[in-house]
Amino acid sequence: QILYFRENHLTEFPEEIGRMGRLGMLDLSVNDISGTLPDLSANTGFTPEELYFDDNAITGFEGDAFCSLADLDAFSISYNKLTRFPNIFTSDKNAYVMSSINVAHNEITTMAPETGAFNGFRSKALTLSGNPIKTYPKEIAESNSYVEQIVMQQCGLTEFPEGCLKSDYSMSITTLDLQYNNLS
């Protein structure tokens, strides 16, 4: 049910993991995984509750999916090379509200995907700290994403677009941490 693969020398994601139907937690942090992570969504039995990919050189995901996220509670991919927020989640009001999404200390400049619409997300906590995001991501409100805590420390944030905090779930935001930015 739990697979710790921390601090090894993996250079690519082992796709065989997608066949582990009862895997609840996967930790592939502190490896040498680079490039994009494969789309394992066809493996319908692979429904982890926790995924950790911290401290690698991951640049993104193939398409707009990774695996079934129906049971996912915690997702962390900090200290990688993402340039866009992973568009693998959903803001569907019937979807499970995750505990946390952590994409801190990547190279994310926007939440908008390269193509198509931003899928949004449902999470109690979202951590974007340490990414060079100059403008507060209006995609959070536009996708009607549910979030309670947003942490955007040290992003170089300089502006808030009009309407960026207006959504059906705006009143759910209890914490907005904007320390160490360039707001005036």
Q: For residue range 157-168, list pLDDT tens digits in order.
A: 999 999 999 999
d(CA 114, CA 178): 26
Q: What is the pTM of this model?
A: 0.96
Dihedral-angle region of residue 156 (phi above 0 means left; psi in -120 to 50 means alpha; beta otherwise): left
Q: What are the tokens at 157?
A: 């944030």
What is the predicted pLDDT for the residue at 75? 98
28 or 43, higher pLDDT:
28
What is the predicted pLDDT for the residue at 32? 98
Q: What are the tokens at 28?
A: 């592939």
| Of 83, 94, 102, residue with least CA distance to 36 | 83
Q: What are the tokens at 100?
A: 């946390």
Q: What are the tokens at 37?
A: 């992570």
- The pLDDT of residue 44 is above 80: no
| Of 132, 121, 136, residue with least CA distance to 172 | 121
| Of 182, 93, 94, residue with least CA distance to 144 | 93
Q: By CB neighbour count within 10 A (0-12 exposed, 13-18 middle, 19+ buried), where does 115 fall?
A: exposed
What is the predicted pLDDT for the residue at 22? 87
